[in-house]
A and B are shown apart, each in its own frame.
Chain A
Amino acid sequence: QNLKCLTHNLRKMICTWDVSSKGRHGQTDFCYTTNDLLPAVCLKTKEKRVEIPVPESSATVTITTNSISGTAFATKEFEIHKTDISFVPLTPRILSLTPDFSTSTLNLKWIDNGSVFPYGLDAFWQIQILRKEVMEKVTQVTYYSKLTHEDIILSWNWRSDMPLECTSHYVKIRCYINVTQFVGPKDWSDWSPVEEVPGKDTEPNVSGVFPQDTVVAVGSDVTICCVHQEGRQIKQMKYEREIYPMIHLSSRSSAIRVLNASASHASGTNVVCELSEGDMDGTVLFVGYAPDIPQNLSCETSNFLIIKCTWKPGRPSGLYGERKTKYSLFERISVKNVSCEVNEMNRERACDFPVLADQKTYDFLLGVSNPIGRTESSLLVDLNQRVHPKAPEKLTVSGNSSTSIHLHWFINGSFAEIRLLCQIEISSGHSERKWHNVSMPGGKFSTYTAQLNTLHPYTKYQFRVRCAAADHFWRWSDWSRIEEHTTLEA
Chain B
Amino acid sequence: MAAADSPSAALRRRDLCSRGIRLAGKMRSDVVDLLDTYVEWQGLDASASVAAVEGVPAAAAERWDEQTGTQRLLENLAAYRAFRALLAQMLEEQREQLGEADTVLGRALAAVLLQVSAFAYHLEELLRLESRGPPSEEGAGPPPLPHLSLFERKLRGLGVLRELAQWAVRSARDLRQLAKPSPGSSSAPSPAESP
Residues of chain A having any CB pair with chain B under 8 Å: 208-209, 212-213, 240-241, 265-272, 278, 280-284, 320-322, 324, 343-345
Contacts and interface: CB of A to CB of B under 8 A. Distances in A.
B140 to A, nearest CB: 30
Interface of B: 41-45, 48-49, 95-102, 149-152, 154-155
Given A266-B41, A283-B149, 8 more contacts: A268-B43, A270-B151, A284-B150, A320-B101, A321-B98, A322-B96, A322-B97, A324-B99
Contacts of A320: 97-102
B158 to A, nearest CB: 11
Contacts of B99: 320-322, 324, 344
**Which A-B residue pairs are the 8 nearest by beta carbons?**
A282-B151, A320-B101, A284-B150, A321-B97, A321-B99, A266-B101, A213-B150, A321-B98
A237 to B, nearest CB: 13
Contacts of A213: 149-151
16 contacts: A209-B151, A212-B149, A266-B98, A267-B42, A270-B44, A270-B151, A272-B48, A280-B155, A281-B151, A283-B150, A284-B154, A321-B95, A321-B96, A344-B100, A344-B101, A345-B100
Given A267-B41, A272-B45, A320-B102, A283 B151 contact: yes
Contacts of A270: 42-44, 151, 154
B94 to A, nearest CB: 8
Contacts of B43: 240, 265, 267-270
B101 A268 contact: no
Given A270-B44, A320-B102, A208 B97 contact: no
A241 B149 contact: no
A322 B42 CA distance: 16
Contacts of B96: 321-322
A284 B49 CA distance: 17
A80 B150 CA distance: 70
A320 B151 CA distance: 16
B49 A268 contact: no
B35 to A, nearest CB: 15
Contacts of B154: 267, 270, 282, 284
Nearest to B48: A280
Of A266, A271, A278, A322, most B-chain CB atoms within 10 Å: A266
B98 A267 contact: yes
Contacts of A282: 149, 151-152, 154-155
Contact of B97 (A240, A267, A280): A267
B107 to A, nearest CB: 14
Nearest to B95: A321
A320 to B, nearest CB: 4
A272 B154 CA distance: 12
Max count, chain B CB within 10 A of own CB: residue among A240, A281, A284, A343: A284
A283 B150 CA distance: 7
A420 to B, nearest CB: 38
A280 to B, nearest CB: 7
Nearest to B43: A270
Nearest to B102: A266
A384 B99 CA distance: 37
Nearest to A324: B99
Q: For B45, B149, B155, which residue has the most chain A Cβ atoms within 10 angstroms?
A: B149
